[in-house]
Structure 1
Amino acid sequence: MTTLANNPSSQSTSVSDAAAQNLANKTKTAPQMASITPRWLVHLMSWVPVEAGIYRVNQVVHPESVKIQCDNLDESPLAQTFVDYEREPKEYRLKAVQTILDVHTRVSDLYSSPHDQVAQQLRLTIEAVKEHQENELINSPQYGLVNSAAESQRISTLGGPPTPDDLDRLITKVWKQPAFFLTHPEGVAAFGRECTRRGVPPATVSMFGSQFLTWRGLPIIPSDKVPVENGKTKFLLLRTGESRQGVIGLFQPGLSGEQGMGLSVRFMQIDRSAIASYLISLYCSLAVLTDDALAVLDDVEVEKFHDYAPVYR
């Protein structure tokens, strides 16, 4: 007869970790997606609601022709004038960023604790749509910032990393109440290195709970959507707001299934294969109200490290 004292398994002093974990509830995070960014550009833009998806920009023709005359002591007649407008003003139409999310009802029915599967699928898909929106705001051939700058508002570096002189040149192009610079994170780092080398490390400012480098009091906003090609990127400087004749974002309010600014989520159907489908739509565009609201610095070198030591004053 085998006794408990003679049983080899009784020599263990405690249940093993592996066995104990079979009875424990594991804490699970919601799905993490590395491609999600802060999208500061969208937060800093001034957004204007658009009726019927169309925004028309009326501009004055030849503003220099408006005649103004000071009062004359000899009481001669004052100048008469009028302000003329463009006959065919430019119109901006909202563009759609859309996708269809499919979720099998078996998945949502059986595997929605502790995290609701449909809610998480919608959350992550909406984040991807918003990331695509920011990319379009910067790079769209029709309305993106990079392609909307007038030729007179584009300048190039003389080669090398971005310098304080380069950013000052941008300020001369957008000198009427500029709001912020925009560049790739590598552009921010390159500018910081160059300023440190020159002994003029830029000040920082706190916004949205984060620290940003500044130049002349203007924050330098990073976005990984600003293109980097062959080791070179761009710096942009914007004036924002409709009242300032700046750059504005456009969106459609009052959408069916509205979940945010210009964003809607609509349930479509459950097909015969038990797949539930949801339509996610985001309607937006961007308008540059006057040419001097946007300037672009091209050919900024960000990858080459020069063989010099920092110079401190």
Structure 2
Amino acid sequence: MAKNQDLPHAQALGDNAARQLANATKTAPQLSTITPRWLVHLLQWLPVEAGIYRVNRVSNADDIQIACTQRDESQLPQTFVDYDTTPREYFLNGVSTVLDVHTRVSDLYSSPHDQIREQLRLTIETIKERQESELINNPEYGLLASVADSQRISTLTGAPTPDDLDDLIGKVWKEPGFFLAHPAAITAFGRECTRRGVPPPTVSLFGSQFITWRGLPLIPSDKIPVEDGKTKILLIRVGEKRQGVVGLFQPGLAGEQAPGLSVRFMGINRSAIASYLISLYCSLAVLTEDALAVLEDVEIGKYHDYSDKYK
């Protein structure tokens, strides 16, 4: 019987060639700098139609005379409530940019994802990140610049402890709303609680879990600066009725996409580039000094500060 001849190796279509006929499932562009921006969600936002918000305050609170009624009412005290004659006025701050999109790109490459829509979405997300940074860091109206000297305290041991947060609550004891801290500061506080045998409970907000202290959630924001391993922790009371902290926005803008945010088409130039003006107008007001307090010199160890990306 003749011996079997060696058969040639089987040939088949390879993966690389086969992929040329396949449609890849494509995601929308992912932007790593997007954060939840909890601060924006937790503030009460007030419309400021003329772009100016004036905070009127009582100037003689300690001099208002009140007495309990006695049988002889002939000696009732006389008093009045005086107002500050130079109240602070807050002006809306603009965060703006012009987005350029070449019409050839939007015409030819908008399937499955519309190029203009994605360009606008990602630019708006970046503007909103800058908005939160301004609410915290703006030198005129930001939270850190708005804390009264009497509402500033320093840590007792360097690392944030339950005692430190209790001291903050003592400063903002009238219906405090939440702590605001860098994620690394919240981690450092959690370590201190665990070391002391008092792990903090958690609460669910907006479908996410937050650790709490004395029932108040610790809200993270990476916009709070970290310098040389130190940062700050804020405690905030919010709302106009509580005489707390409120956000301000301009209503009724042309091309309004969200409160205070507008997108306006500016036209197409001779180079076939379409331009869109994206603007966000906002500010923040602290109605009374005891609505806000800060814990300073909070040590969290080594941490790289990425806050420059919002400047």
TM-score tier after normalising by the smaller chain length: over 0.9
2:231 matches 1:217: no
Judge conservation of contact 1:153–1:296 (CA < 8 Å) in 2.
yes
Q: Secondary structure at the match of 1:61?
A: coil
Equivalents in 1 of 2:38, 2:259: separation in Å?
15
Correspondence for 2:199: 201
1:158 partner amino acid = L
Equivalents in 1 of 2:229, 2:292: separation in Å?
23
Correspondence for 1:299: 297
TM-score, with structure 2 as normaliser: 0.93
Equivalents in 1 of 2:257, 2:72: separation in Å?
66
Q: Secondary structure at the match of 2:156?
A: coil
Which residue of 52, 67, 70 maps to 1:69?
67
Judge conservation of contact 1:185–1:224 (CA < 8 Å) in 2.
yes
Q: Secondary structure at the match of 2:23?
A: coil
Equivalents in 1 of 2:73, 2:182: separation in Å?
60
> What is the RMSD computed on CA atoms of the aligned residues?
1.5
2:224 matches 1:259: no
1:37 partner amino acid = T
Deviation at 1:210, TM superposition (A): 1.0
Correspondence for 1:153: 151
Q: Secondary structure at the match of 1:125?
A: helix
Correspondence for 2:129: 131
Judge conservation of contact 1:159–1:299 (CA < 8 Å) in 2.
no
Q: Which runs of 5+ in 1 are unaligned?
A: 1-5, 305-313
2:119 partner amino acid = Q
2:46 matches 1:20: no
Correspondence for 2:172: 174
Equivalents in 1 of 2:248, 2:58: separation in Å?
22
TM-score, with structure 1 as normaliser: 0.93
Equivalents in 1 of 2:103, 2:7: separation in Å?
51
Judge conservation of contact 2:156–2:164 (CA < 8 Å) in 1.
no
Correspondence for 2:108: 110
Deviation at 1:8, TM superposition (A): 6.2
Deviation at 1:7, TM superposition (A): 11
Equivalents in 2 of 1:154, 1:261: separation in Å?
32
1:286 partner amino acid = L
- Tell me how many residue pairs correspond in the alignment: 298
Equivalents in 1 of 2:44, 2:174: separation in Å?
16
1:198 partner amino acid = R
1:262-277 alignment runs, 5 A limit = 262-277=260-275
Q: What whole-Å deviation, never above 9, does each CA across 1:166-213 have from its counterpart, x for those lacking one? A: 000000000000000000000000000000000000000011111101
Q: Secondary structure at the match of 1:119?
A: helix
Q: What whole-Å deviation, never above 9, does each CA across 1:248-304 have from its counterpart, x for those lacking one? A: 000001000000010000000100000100000000000000000000000000016
2:93 matches 1:95: yes
Deviation at 1:15, TM superposition (A): 2.2
Q: Secondary structure at the match of 2:243?
A: coil
Percent identity over the alignment is 71
Which residue of 233, 236, 261 maps to 2:234?
236
1:133 partner amino acid = Q
2:202 partner amino acid = T
Equivalents in 1 of 2:17, 2:226: separation in Å?
52
Deviation at 1:77, TM superposition (A): 3.6
Deviation at 1:216, TM superposition (A): 0.1
Judge conservation of contact 1:94–1:285 (CA < 8 Å) in 2.
yes
